Structure 1
């Protein structure tokens, strides 16, 4: 059992040295978002679209996101 513990300790030390020498690998995340390329006039929006914007703003305020 002692040999196994020593081997595990060596592997942990090697990993830490490699991380320190070469850096940790970059983490990648796929982010999807809706983006409007051109702003829309409020006058061209339907009442439903305007109410959705208002409700979304209330939710963000309640969650402390604003």
Structure 2
């Protein structure tokens, strides 16, 4: 490093999940409406923690398409 150069280091939480997740959509969709609510997602700790990432349209419910995007 030369004199006068500044080095900045920062960190932040990731906004998505990295890993190989398997989620049984039908098992989580307790009321059978074809969507997973936040309440239904509570049985899966990883999905609960990352619900905001998986819920790409922000409506508070996950569709099979949104869930498949999260698990890729």
TM-score by length of 1: 0.30
The structure in which a higher percent of residues are helix is 1
Greater relative contact order (Cα < 8 A, sep 6+): 2
Larger radius of gyration: 1
